[in-house]
Amino acid sequence: MGASQGAARQAEDVIPLARPVVGEEEERAVIEVLRSGQLSLGPRVVEFERLFSARVGAPLACAVSSGTAGLHLALRAAGVGEGDEVITSPFSFVASANAALYERARPVFADIDPITLNLDPRAAGAAVGGRTRALLPVHIFGYPADMPAFERIASDHGLAIVEDACEALGASHADGTPVGGRGHPSVFGFYANKQLTTGEGGMVTLDDPAQKQLIDSERNQGRALDMGWLDHDRLGFNYRLSDIACAIGIAQLERLDGMLAARARVAGLYREALEGIEGLELPCPDRGGDTRGWFVFVVQLPRGVDRDGVVRALAAVGIQSKPYLSAIHLMSFYRERFGHREGEFPVCEDVAARSLALPFFPAMSEGQVARVAQQLGAVLERTGT
Ligand SMILES: *Cc1c(COP(=O)(O)O)cnc(C)c1O
């Protein structure tokens, strides 16, 4: 076999980390919007907001251009400003901490729970100080954060809550509330690897009409709903989501149950296939009535394993994998700006050093899961732990 032929064969066989489910319904929805002539600020935005808020049991929702934009506007709506502190998880995608910085507030980290990998309410409570304005728990990897505990802390200290639910569409709490439906501004993201995608996009769900009005205005250059075209009564941004994106989102909502079920099926296959590998830690099973909305399948390698070597060995046999996530406080920008160092949040640092995301998407076949499991097992055996 020639080199180019080999490369072609390999590209075909590669199991990617993620792959969105989009089809004729999304294509039709996009074409309809294109033909309508109204590509933005049109009826699809309102419809997507209505359907999405109903889906997570929230009275209201605001479509925005990304999860990050949603976090920014939600923190502003919660009253976070210069000099305030926002308590959040160091084990997250960097956007959840950055959003506080956009308002010259300070993200204050607290360590995570070793089982759920979510912000530990006790650690968060201990981090509350005189400048604390808000709690920003992240439902990491789709596992519900302990909201009843955060709600108690918030009410004891008079704090706002903003939830980063960007990874948690489809998750629900023990009392049956879907994540995003507890009334605090909760932010979802629709990047292509999320449970639901619009390419890029986001949504804030909430229950306060005044906050909804503020976010709707600030996403659109600070224009009030009843104002003239070029009249603006406050500072705003362009964080709008187009009708094209919203049309894709509406089509995705229609297939959401099927996509979530398919993700849960793949997670179940992984659990069976990986259970026998010694020292490998799998995502925690649902406990106490909390239900994960499956987003990624992240395992923790045994201590001492060369993770980069594992990534390379898997790549060599056509399997994508990725260290996921990094500890935010140890990123160079955060170290330099805030003087963070190793040892501050030991649970987070241990988890971040060992976690590896495996290929995970709704259309993944049993054979592909078996191939990943078999190769991962073989690599770990070779590296001799
Ligand atoms: C995806 C994600 C976001 C938002 O990402 P965008 O790319 O801005 O949509 C925020 N927080 C977490 C934890 C995420 O996984």
Looking at the structure, tell me whether residues 299 and 199 fall in a common domain: no
| % pLDDT > 90, the chain | 92
Identify whether 279 is part of a domain: yes
From 196, 227, 254, the end of a domain falls on: 254
Domain CATH for 209:
3.40.640.10
**pLDDT for residue 385 is more than 70:** no
Position 2 scores a pLDDT of 45
- The answer on 263 and 234 residing in a single domain is no
Q: Verify whether ligand 1 is closer than 6 Å to residue 163 (CB atom).
A: no
Instruction: Name the active-site residue from 72, 133, 139, 194.
Output: 194
186 and 55 in a common domain:
yes
Q: Virtual CA dihedral for 296, 297, 303, 306, nearest 10 degrees?
A: -80
Is residue 147 within a helix (H) or strand (E), and if so which, with residue range? helix 147-157
Assess whether 102 and 144 both reside in one domain. yes
Q: For a ligand 1 pocket test, name from 164, 194, 204, 348 the mutation site with the most ligand atoms within 8 angstroms of its C-beta.
A: 164
The contacts of residue 13 (CB under 8 Å, 6+ apart) are: 318
Say whether both 242 and 374 belong to one domain.
Answer: no
The torsion angles phi and psi of 341, rounded to 5 degrees, stand at: -145, 170
Expressed in angstroms, the distance from the first to the final Cα of the chain is: 36
On whether residue 349 sits in a domain, the answer given is: no
Task: Please indicate, yes or no, if residue 334 is contained in any of the structural domains.
Answer: no
**How many domains is the chain partitioned into structurally?**
2
Contacts of 150 (CB under 8 A, 6+ apart): 119, 121, 124, 135, 137, 161
Element at 203 (helix H, strand E): strand 202-206
Domain boundary among 254, 277, 293: 254
What letter would DSSP give residue 303? T
- Known active-site residue 194: yes
**CB 116 less than 6 A from any atom of ligand 1:** no
**285 band by pLDDT with thresholds 50, 70 and 90:** very high
Contacts of 48 (CB under 8 A, 6+ apart): 63, 203, 241, 246, 247, 249, 250, 253
Q: Please report which helix (H) or strand (E) contains residue 361, including its range.
A: none
Distance CA 167, CA 125 (A): 23
Whether ligand 1 lies within 6 angstroms of the CB of 201 is answered as no
Residue 18 belongs to a domain:
no
Selection from 200, 187, 216 nearest residue 88 by Cα:
187
Above 50 in pLDDT, residue 1? Answer: no
DSSP letter, residue 81: -
Structural domain contains residue 5: no
Q: Is 255 left (phi over 0), alpha (psi -120 to 50) or beta?
A: alpha
Q: Are residues 263 and 248 in the same domain?
A: no
243 lines ligand 1 (CB under 6 A): no
Asked, for residue 7, whether it belongs to a domain, the answer is no
Q: Domain check: are 213 and 191 in the same one?
A: yes
**Separation of CA 95 and ligand 1 centre (Å):** 6
Structure tokens at 258: 């099927």
- Pick the atom of ligand 1 nearest to 138's CA: 13
C-beta of residue 88 within 8 angstroms of C-beta of residue 137: yes
Q: Which tokens is 229 given?
A: 């075209």
Residue 330 lies in a domain: no
Coil, helix or strand at residue 59: coil
326 lines ligand 1 (CB under 6 A): no
Range of the domain at 317: 256-321+359-382
For residues 304 and 353, the answer to whether their CB atoms sit within 8 Å is no
Q: What is the pLDDT averaged over residues 230-250? A: 92
The alpha carbon of residue 277 and the mean position of all alpha carbons in its chain are separated, in whole angstroms, by: 28
203 alpha carbon to ligand 1 midpoint, in Å?
11
Last residue of a domain, one of 203, 233, 254: 254
Tell me the pLDDT band of 384, cut-offs 50, 70 and 90: low
Residue 202 Cβ contacting ligand 1 at under 6 Å: yes
Q: Give the pairing of strands 60-64 and 202-206.
A: antiparallel
Q: Is residue 2 part of a domain?
A: no
| pTM to 2 decimal places | 0.96
**Strand ranges of the sheet holding 85-88, from the earlier edge strand across to the other edge:** 106-109, 85-88, 132-136, 160-161
Token pair for 321: 């994998």
Q: Is the CB of 58 under 6 A from ligand 1?
A: no
Greatest CA span in the chain, whole angstroms?
Answer: 69
Do 94 and 229 lie in one domain? The reply is yes
239 and 370 fall within a common domain: no
239 & 264 share domain: no
Q: Hey, what's the torsion of the CAs at 261, 262, 266, 268, to 10 degrees? A: 20
Ligand 1 pocket mutation pick from 140, 163, 167 by most atoms within 8 angstroms of CB: 167
Mean pLDDT (the chain, rounded): 95
Cα(41) to ligand 1 centroid in Å equals: 23
Q: What is the pLDDT of residues 7-56, one digit of tens each?
A: 544 556 899 999 999 999 999 999 999 999 999 999 999 999 999 999 99
Q: Is 185 left (phi over 0), alpha (psi -120 to 50) or beta?
A: beta
